[in-house]
């Protein structure tokens, strides 16, 4: 891990290097475009192919990139049912527990329609009609992501809940992903991945429905595509590699601290594990423990690469400075493993998710605690929030004025309209006011 000494140096580090820019990653377009392109450029070309060619374009892209393509994109309902029926009972129970806890957590955050008591104004909350949850493929079947994306939308009242997940050729997605889709209440599942999946969901094809919003994490190419289709379809956010920041003092158990960092580092070689500690001695102890644990893990090589590529340890003088560094980093996950953990909570302003004390392990939120584990990355926790039921509703202001209310406000509205030079606006009020007063 890179070592940074001092809070000021740590704050400066994260202001400069919050995350790896996806524009610095070159995608290998050979076999499709015969040139290397940035994710944005690659996604733009893929989107155009899908928009103009539909299903045939997706087949062409898949064949060029993967050497094969599914004959049919949609997973039959019978296959989904079989996946759930054949999953071991303990895993089914765990998925159901996770879904129930997420459902109960999200119900508490569901916005409600309201009026001012007189019925003259308020807001109307309505769910989106359709959404798609992108569930990454790769080396780990992220079945939990199905729960964390579909269930909040279901709580919001969304009718059509689509899951898309990559699967090569005619093979089916991992049975755990399909079982989770059934438990979460997904309407349909499609074998689609990459920028082509995002394009299909944004614009629709012969067999893939266009939706109102696309949510969920994905590769650099998926993220680039989401950015480019935004405006034609809603998106939840733009997610980079996962990141966890752990604040530790002398009271922190090195085993817990190391394992919390490893838990995210094992996702990807460009994941970002961050340690902020109140002494170099603590850093040294935790690094020793990281090495010990990595040697025992099946994905130890991936996690080790993440520590080497993007891991950083910041040494500060006290826990207050540690929080200052954390706020500058605005990490996806912020774990506080200090003696005064609860006293620091109110000082935290920028974090996707906050995990206070040694028993509030971030892994709990990944699976069973209740919040969605889809959280802002790359410093975007400065202005955005974890995925929630609120992402799947629209809030519409509603006016139901009577003539008395209108008359009370109309002259001021007319004055402001004329100040802006918008006399048509003013007239729309004046005509009504004159009728009320009999002019």
Catalytic residues: 332-333
The b/e string for 282-296 (b: 16+ C-beta within 10 A; e otherwise) is: bbebbbebbeebbee
Strand order, beta sheet including 121-127: 114-115, 121-127, 393-399
Would you list the DSSP string of 237-251? Answer: ----S-EEEEEE-TT
User: What is the Cβ-side half-sphere exposure of residue 420, based on CA atoms within 13 angstroms?
Assistant: 10
Q: Which residues pair with 243 in a beta bridge?
A: 272
Cα 268-269-271 angle, rounded to 5 deg? 60
- Pairwise CA distance, residues 100 & 93, whole Å: 10
Dmax over Cα atoms in the chain, in whole Å? 87
H or E element, residue 281: helix 280-294
Region at 158 (left for phi over 0; alpha for psi -120 to 50; beta for the rest): beta
Length of the chain in terms of residues written: 439
Whole-angstrom Cα Rg for the chain: 25
Cα 272-278-279 angle, rounded to 5 deg? 100
């Amino acid at each position: 891990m890179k070592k940074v000494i001092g809070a000021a140096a740590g704050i400066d580090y994260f202001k400069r290097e919050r995350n790896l820019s996806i524009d610095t990653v070159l995608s290998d377009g050979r076999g499709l475009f015969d040139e290397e392109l940035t994710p944005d450029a690659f996604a733009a070309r893929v989107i155009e192919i899908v928009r103009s060619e539909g299903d045939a374009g997706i087949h062409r892209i898949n064949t060029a990139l993967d050497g094969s393509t599914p004959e049919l994109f949609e997973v039959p309902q019978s296959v989904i049912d079989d996946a759930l029926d054949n999953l071991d009972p303990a895993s089914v129970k765990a998925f159901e527990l996770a879904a129930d806890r997420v459902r109960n957590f999200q119900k508490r955050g569901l916005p409600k329609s309201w009026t001012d008591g007189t019925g003259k104004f308020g807001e109307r909350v309505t769910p989106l009609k359709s959404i798609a949850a992108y569930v990454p493929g790769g080396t780990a079947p992220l079945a939990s992501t199905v729960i964390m994306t579909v269930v909040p939308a279901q709580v919001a009242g969304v009718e059509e809940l689509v899951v898309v997940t990559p699967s090569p050729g005619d093979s089916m997605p991992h049975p755990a992903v399909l079982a989770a889709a059934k438990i979460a209440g997904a309407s349909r599942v499609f074998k689609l991945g990459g920028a082509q999946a995002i394009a299909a969901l944004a614009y629709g094809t012969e067999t893939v429905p266009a939706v109102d919003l696309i949510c969920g994490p994905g590769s650099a190419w998926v993220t680039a595509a989401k950015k480019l289709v935004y405006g034609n379809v809603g998106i939840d956010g733009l997610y980079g590699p996962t990141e966890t920041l752990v604040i530790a003092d002398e009271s922190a158990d090195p085993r817990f601290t190391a394992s919390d960092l490893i838990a995210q580092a094992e996702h990807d070689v460009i994941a970002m594990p961050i340690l902020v500690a109140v002494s170099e001695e603590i850093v040294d102890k935790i690094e020793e423990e990281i090495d010990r644990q990595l040697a025992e893990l099946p994905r130890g090589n991936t996690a080790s690469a993440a520590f080497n590529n993007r891991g950083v340890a910041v040494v500060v003088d006290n826990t207050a400075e540690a929080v200052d560094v954390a706020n500058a980093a605005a990490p996806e996950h912020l774990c506080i493993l200090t003696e005064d953990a609860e006293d620091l909570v109110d000082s935290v302003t920028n974090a996707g998710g906050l995990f206070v004390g040694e028993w509030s392990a971030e892994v709990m939120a990944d699976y069973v605690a209740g919040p969605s584990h889809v959280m802002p990355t790359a410093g975007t926790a400065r202005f955005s929030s974890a995925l929630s039921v609120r992402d799947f509703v629209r809030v519409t202001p509603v006016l139901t004025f009577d003539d008395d209310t209108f008359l009370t406000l109309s002259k001021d509205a007319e004055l402001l309209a004329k100040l802006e030079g918008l006399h048509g606006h003013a007239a729309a009020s004046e005509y009504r006011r004159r009728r009320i007063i009999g002019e």
